[in-house]
């Protein structure tokens, strides 16, 4: 077993947040590689294409997904992703990372069995370290 | 007595009372005066005197109806009556008009009504029932009606006449029933009536009726078919209840509920901005601070400080948007003024002239049908600005962008239509979010997701509506109803 996560995926339209998250992950070497998408549509396209040619190295171990995004929001992504998740034959841990503190969002996230946790922004450095340690 | 002599001998009978009507002049026989216990000196020989002091209250309408039918149309009638007789005793009579008889005897212009005493005592219960029925009808403003298909006649009771503001002797028209219904509800009325007449389908509906004075008012209309022995529908009967007060209250309540619901939606959007958009900036800020505190690398620190500038800019624009939304709610009290469509459009085009030149956009405008409108000028300009810049933003790369703007009237309301030949939008997918805040559907860098939200709110705050039609790759049409 490796002691770092090999591939993490961030789906978020807030470029600044992505930049900061990247910085934290890379400087602390929390994972080896990072995939970044700006909205749900881009990322679901990636995963659906990946299915046609399964390449273990390109399947992330962990996904951080924002809820409020243009074109395809987080909920729609999760719905689409849930349908194909099993086909990857790999444990992919899904985290929702949102600045929404709306109880309705939190409740909805908890009702989905494949969502590991609902993280409210800002995600603190310690919190991120713990998450990556668990996944690795 | 003088008057006595004009009554024809053939029908003279001391127990029977007679009326003779000559050209609206009523004469009462001595026997009739005797029945009601009056002498010729202390009585007003007059229909109303009879109706209100002699006749049992519940029978007034029917008698009056029959009486005027006899006078106007020469229709004979026969009905049972209860009269207050000598010493206040109630007695039952059979009341019969004898038009044909009087004609036969050469009294061609006079009409005779006879009151033949019956031996039975009036039934107290029936009398009470009538009284209560009438009281109930009056208190509920509920009148009854009957349409007779065989005789081609319509009958109304007194209460129906009252709520429709017709005089007491009014005879409703069979042919022109449409004149009792408000214009915009005629079709509904016609449909219900036909369904009932043809298929025996009863109806119970709320409909706008029209009084004699052409005043529109709401009634609850209930109707049922009337069958003959052969099970054929020979007429319709039912009631009208004046529900104008309640209905108007209900409608105004409904309107209030709509306003509240739209305000609530706006409030919800506020909550959303605060919960999501403001929070995303502050959370970025705190994450930056956390990183600054941890790092010892000076260049990294500087980089992080520079990103604070980005956050501050985004925070500013979010707060500006918030301000735009707040001003919509407060501005609605502002007075509307006459705004010329062309002037407002010119002003907007002038402000975005560089964009129009750069993207080579063709704009056609036609305000011939409706030239101006009473509106808040800033709103009209903002509507133009948002919809035109949207059309330019989402124009199709491979063809010249053409935007057509026109005004016209529809159902008495002014319509402003703005169409483009741009990329269009998948309404099935995005329709419900189209006017939402911070919703964008295109991979377009300058998509902010605030314009349509503001536009919709401005239009709705002035009681208008906005509609959209779109075909992917063909274009989009926004229709604003003022």
Shortest Cα distance, chain B CAs vs residue A89, angstroms: 31
Cβ–Cβ below 8 Å for A24 and B439:
no
CA-based R_g, chain B, Å: 38
pLDDT at res. B33 = 87
- Asked, for residue A108, whether it belongs to a domain, the answer is yes
A·B CB contacts under 8 A: 67
**Of B271, B280, B438, which is closest to A99 when you measure between CB atoms?**
B280
pLDDT at residue A77, rounded to an integer: 92
pLDDT at B212: 92
**Any bridge partners for residue B340, and if so which?**
B372
Q: Which of A16, A24, A71 sits opposite B307 (nearest CB)?
A: A16
Adjacent-strand bridge partners of B95:
B79, B115
A76 touches chain B (CB under 8 A): no
> In total, how many domains does chain A have?
1
Exposure of A100 in the CB half-sphere (CA atoms within 13 A)? 22
Chain B residues near residue A125 by CB distance under 8 angstroms? 290-291, 294
Is A92 within a domain? Answer: yes
Q: What is the pLDDT of residue B12?
A: 61
d(CA B285, CA B308): 7
- A71 interfacial to chain B (CB closer than 8 Å): yes
B279 contacts in A (CB within 8 Å)? 99-101, 121
Residues in B touching A123 (Cβ below 8 Å)? 287
Does any CB of chain B come closer than 8 Å to the CB of residue A122?
A: yes
Q: Which residue ranges in chain B fall short of pLDDT 70? A: 1-12, 99-109, 119-132, 273, 275, 329-334, 437-449
Q: Please tell me the distance from the alpha carbon of residue A82 to that of residue B31, in angstroms, as a whole number.
A: 100
Give, in order, the Cα–Cα distances in Å from B16 to each of A119, B11, B24, B29, B150: 100, 9, 22, 9, 34
Interface membership of B436 toward A (CB under 8 Å): no
The CATH number covering residue A76 comes to 3.40.50.2300
In a domain, A31, yes or no: yes
Nearest chain A residue to B283 by CA: give it. A122
Distance CA B215, CA B257 (A): 27
Q: Residue B425 has what pLDDT?
A: 86
Cross-chain residue pair B443–A101, CB shorter than 8 Å: no
Three-class DSSP labels, chain B: CCHHHHCCHHHCCCCCEEEEEECCEEEECHHHHHHCCCCCCCCCCCHHHHHHHHECHHHHHHHHHHHHHHHHHCCCCEEEEEEECHHHCEEEEEEEECHHHHHHCCCCCEEEEEEEECCCCCCHHHHHHHHHHHHHHHHCCEEEEEEECCCCEEEECHHHHHHCCCCCCCCCCCCCHHHHECHHHHHHHHHHHHHHHHHCCCEEEEEEEECCCCCEEEEEEEEEEEECCCCCEEEEEEEEEECHHHHHHHHHHHHHHHHHHHHHHHHHHHHHHHHHHHHHHHHHHHHHHHHHHHCCCHHHHHHHHHHHHHHHHHHHHHHHHHHHHHHHHHHCCCCCEEEEHHHHHHHHHHHCHHHHHHHCCEEEEECCCCCEEEECHHHHHHHHHHHHHHHHHCCCCCCCCEEEEEEEEECCEEEEEEEECCCCCCHHHHHHHCCCCCCCCCCCCCCCCCHHHHHHHHHHHCCCEEEEEEECCCEEEEEEEC
Per-residue confidence (pLDDT) for residue B355, from 0 to 100: 85
Confirm whether A56 is domain-assigned: yes
Please name the residues between 179 and 218 in chain B that touch chain A, using a CB distance below 8 Å.
Answer: none
The tokens for B129 are 């029932």
Q: Do A100 and B294 touch (CB under 8 A)?
A: no
Q: How far is B283 from chain A (nearest CA, A)?
A: 4
Whether B394 contacts B472, CB under 8 Å = no
Selected residue of B283, B291, B309 to mutate for chain A interface (largest A Cβ count, 10 A):
B283
* Predicted structure pTM score: 0.52
pLDDT digits (tens, 9 = 90+) for B395-433: 888 888 999 999 999 988 999 999 999 988 888 877 777
pLDDT of residue B96: 86
Contacts of B391 (CB under 8 A, 6+ apart): B361, B401, B403, B418, B420, B422, B476
Note whether A71 contacts B291, CB cutoff 8 Å. no
Mean pLDDT, range A42-68, rounded to an integer: 89
For residue B290, what are the contacts with CB-CB under 8 A and spacing of at least 6?
A122, A124, A125
The pLDDT score that the predictor gives to residue B165 is 92
Inter-chain residue contact A16 with B290, CB threshold 8 Å: no
Rounded to whole angstroms, the Cα distance separating B419 from B406 reads 9
* Mean pLDDT score, A100-113: 87
Report pLDDT for B40: 77
Which structural domain, as residue segments, surrounds residue A68? 21-135
Residue A13 placed within a domain: no
| Structural domain contains residue A15 | no
Q: What is the pLDDT of residue B356?
A: 87
Distance from CA of B276 to the nearest CA of A (A): 5
A121–chain B Cβ distance below 8 A for any pair:
yes
| Residue B20: predicted pLDDT | 84
Minimum distance, in Å, between the CA of residue B292 and any CA atom of chain A: 11
A8 occurs within a structural domain: no
According to DSSP H, which parts of chain A are helical? 15-27, 40-52, 74-84, 103-110, 125-135
Task: Tell me the chain B residues in contact with residue A102 when contact means C-beta distances shorter than 8 Å.
Answer: 271-272, 275-276
pLDDT value, residue B265: 76
Look at phi and psi of residue A123 and say left if phi exceeds 0, alpha if psi is from -120 to 50, else beta. beta
Cα gap B299→B308, rounded to integer Å: 15
DSSP A100-130: ---HHHHHHHHT-TTEEEEEESSPPHHHHHH
For residue A5, is it within any domain? no
């Amino acid at each position: 077993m490796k002691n770092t996560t090999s591939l993490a995926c961030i789906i978020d339209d807030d470029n600044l947040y992505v930049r900061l998250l990247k910085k934290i992950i890379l400087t602390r070497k929390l994972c080896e590689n990072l995939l970044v998408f700006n909205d749900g549509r881009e990322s679901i396209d990636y995963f659906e294409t990946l299915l046609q040619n399964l390449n273990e190295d390109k399947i992330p171990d962990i996904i951080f997904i924002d809820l409020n995004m243009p074109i395809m929001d987080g909920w729609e992504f999760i719905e689409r992703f849930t349908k194909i998740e099993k086909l990857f034959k790999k444990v992919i841990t899904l985290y929702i990372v949102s600045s929404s503190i709306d109880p309705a969002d939190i409740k909805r996230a908890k009702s989905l069995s494949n969502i590991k946790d609902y993280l409210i922004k800002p995600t603190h450095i310690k919190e991120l370290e713990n998450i990556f340690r668990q996944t690795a | 007595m003088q008057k006595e002599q004009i009554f024809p001998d053939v029908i003279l009978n001391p127990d029977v009372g007679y009326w003779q009507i000559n050209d609206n002049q009523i004469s009462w026989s001595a026997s009739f005066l005797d029945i009601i216990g009056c002498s010729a000196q202390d009585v007003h020989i007059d229909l109303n005197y009879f109706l209100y002091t002699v006749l049992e209250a519940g029978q007034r309408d029917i008698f009056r109806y029959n009486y005027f039918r006899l006078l106007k149309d020469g229709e004979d009638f026969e009905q049972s009556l209860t009269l207050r007789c000598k010493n206040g005793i109630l007695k039952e009579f059979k009341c019969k008009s004898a038009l044909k008889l009087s004609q036969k005897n050469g009294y061609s212009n006079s009409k005779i009504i006879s009151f033949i005493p019956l031996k039975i005592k009036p039934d107290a219960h029936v009398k009470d029932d009538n009284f209560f029925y009438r009281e109930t009808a009056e208190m509920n403003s509920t009148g009854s009606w009957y349409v007779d298909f065989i005789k081609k006649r319509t009958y109304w009771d007194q209460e129906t006449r009252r709520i429709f503001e017709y005089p007491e002797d009014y005879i409703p028209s069979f042919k022109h029933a449409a004149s009792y219904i408000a214009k915009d509800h005629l079709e509904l009325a016609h449909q219900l009536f036909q369904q009932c007449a043809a298929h025996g389908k009863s109806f119970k509906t709320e409909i706008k009726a029209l009084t004699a004075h052409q005043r529109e008012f709401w009634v609850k209309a209930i109707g049922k078919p009337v069958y003959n022995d052969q099970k054929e529908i020979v007429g319709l009967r039912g009631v009208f209840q004046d529900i104008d007060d309640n209905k108007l209250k209900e409608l105004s309540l409904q309107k209030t509920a709509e306003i509240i619901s739209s305000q609530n939606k706006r409030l919800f959007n506020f909550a959303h901005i605060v919960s999501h958009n403001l929070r995303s900036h502050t959370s970025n800020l705190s994450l930056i601070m956390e990183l600054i505190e941890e790092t010892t690398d000076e260049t990294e620190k500087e980089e992080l400080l520079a990103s604070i500038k980005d956050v501050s800019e985004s925070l500013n624009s979010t707060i500006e948007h918030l301000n735009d939304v707040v001003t919509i709610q407060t501005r609605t009290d502002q007075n509307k003024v006459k705004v010329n469509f062309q002037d407002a459009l010119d002003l907007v085009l002038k402000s975005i002239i560089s964009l129009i030149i750069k993207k080579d956009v063709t704009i056609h405008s036609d305000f011939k049908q409706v030239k101006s409108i009473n509106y808040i000028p800033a709103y009209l300009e903002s509507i133009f600005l948002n919809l035109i810049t949207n059309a330019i933003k989402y124009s199709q790369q491979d063809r010249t962008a053409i935007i057509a703007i026109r005004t016209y009237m529809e159902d008495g309301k002014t319509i402003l239509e703005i169409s483009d030949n741009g990329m269009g939008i998948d309404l099935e997918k995005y329709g419900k979010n189209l006017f939402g805040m911070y919703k964008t559907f295109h991979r377009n860098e300058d998509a902010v997701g605030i314009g349509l939200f503001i536009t919709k709110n401005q239009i709705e705050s002035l009681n208008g509506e906005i509609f959209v039609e779109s075909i992917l790759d063909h274009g989009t049409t926004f229709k604003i109803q003022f």
